[in-house]
Amino acid sequence: MTDALRSWLEGAAADRERAGLTRRLGARASGADTVDLAGNDYLGLLRHPAVVSGAVSAAREWGGGAGASRLVTGTLALHQTLERELAAWCGRPAALVTSTGYAANLAAVTALADADTLVVSDAHVHASLVDGARLARGAVEVVPHRDVAAVAEALSRRTQPRALVLVESVWSVLGDASPLAELLEVCECHDATLLVDEAHGLGTAGEAGRGLAAVLRPPDATRLVVTVTLSKALGSQGGAVLGDPLVLEHLVNTARPFIFDTGLAPAAAGAALAALRVLAAEPERVERLRGAAHRLASTVGVQSPAGGVLAVRMASAHEATRTQALMATHGVRVGCFRPPSVPDGISRLRLTASAGLRDEQLDIACEVLRRALGTTAAESGEPVDPALGGGGADPDGTRVALVPTYGTGAAPDPSGEPAP
């Protein structure tokens, strides 16, 4: 038995190595002065004194953990304060805090979809939504990325009484935005529920960083369900589902990833609450993030993103890791996405802007990017329409286009690993 497992593991490791797909954990040193274009600390709040002291005082008051699942004794007054303030900030009627953003998506999808529900999923949704759809065990239809007509078509053909449409507001890898108003209209038209994952929209997009869904006001609030993570712009850990109280009550009673999971740790809740208050009090952070994103985008020749994420398409997985490693030697960390973490098989560098980047760090980042990508054009400020692709190939062919275009043919199964 052990031999069978060992030979399978060794074979799989050798396959990954040959394809340039081996992942390795690299620890970062505390206080290391690398320029981070790989993390999700969009607003530079991770080490903000108010956020750190929010964590410390919550741990002092409530202890190291919530002590139990939320339905037993693990609901703290602190969770409820966070829920109220999150819901108000995001323009939704109510919120339910979960232990991670991953759990928020699993809880929402599994509670809202069953065998009588068609799940219509954009081909690029995060692994947590994919896994939720799989656990829900109903029919799933994967539609091409940002294709509202394909969503409408799938909904109009459905035989199930209910339908749930899964999208992200700001997409975690490409950084583009979903046409949420159109999607909501289609959902109204076909009596479907729209689930919007704001993991990369909260704190980065929409008015004052409220996310892109904050302005949506469906006549019936059960039409729209929003999920967020507390681990990105809010610099903490945890997640939440936001929506109509009737929806959240259903989750509390039926969502296994919520019911059978210990409540969010007090320190994480305290940090997230403090971060939310800093976000509200310091809107200039969102402006600074946008300025940094614009500068990075013009350096690599793509359109300014809706939030803080942008993607650079690479010729191969090897090329992506080689460029990532090269940039790391110059003190700049970028993300690298390769199959199976990408829905379309295309390897990319993923860059994230942050309000926490100092001006001189941004200067270094842009210079290293220009060299590593062979970009000769200086920051032109000329936006390149992502729909057209952009950038072109550099002389040694390492860069083929900066932003991919997607056809409307059958989308690949979005199986994959979580995009950070």
Ligand X SMILES: Cc1ncc(COP(=O)(O)O)c(C=O)c1O
- Binding positions for ligand X, rule: CB under 6 A: 100-102, 105, 126, 128, 168, 172, 197, 199-200, 229, 231, 239, 418-420
Tokens of 312: 């650079």
Give the full edge-to-edge strand order of the sheet including 162-168: 94-98, 239-243, 224-229, 193-197, 162-168, 117-122, 139-143
Q: Which residue has the tokens 């390897």?
A: 347
CA dist 416 and 127 (Å) reads: 6
**DSSP secondary structure letter of residue 386:** G
284's CB contacts (< 8 A; 6+ apart) are none
Minimal distance, residue 364 CB to ligand X, in Å: 26
Other residues' Cβ atoms within 10 Å of the Cβ of residue 106: 27
Question: Residue with the closest Cβ to ligand X?
Answer: 101
Minimal distance, residue 126 CB to ligand X, in Å: 4
Query: In this complex, which beta carbon is closest to ligand X, that of residue 146 or of residue 399?
Result: 146
Q: Rg of the chain over CA atoms, in angstroms?
A: 21
Query: In this complex, which beta carbon is closest to ligand X, that of residue 131 or of residue 147?
Result: 131
Minimal distance, residue 170 CB to ligand X, in Å: 9
Cα angle for residues 257, 261, 265 (degrees, 5° grid): 125
Cα angle for residues 187, 343, 371 (degrees, 5° grid): 120
Query: In this complex, which beta carbon is closest to ligand X, that of residue 390 or of residue 416?
Result: 416
Minimal distance, residue 89 CB to ligand X, in Å: 17
Minimal distance, residue 224 CB to ligand X, in Å: 17
Q: Is the dihedral of CA 111, 117, 122, 123 positive or negative?
A: positive
Minimal distance, residue 237 CB to ligand X, in Å: 7
Query: In this complex, which beta carbon is closest to ligand X, that of residue 126 or of residue 313?
Result: 126
Query: In this complex, which beta carbon is closest to ligand X, that of residue 105 or of residue 117?
Result: 105
Using omega within 30 degrees of 0 as the cis cutoff, is the peptide bond preceding 340 cis? Answer: yes
Query: In this complex, which beta carbon is closest to ligand X, that of residue 126 or of residue 190?
Result: 126
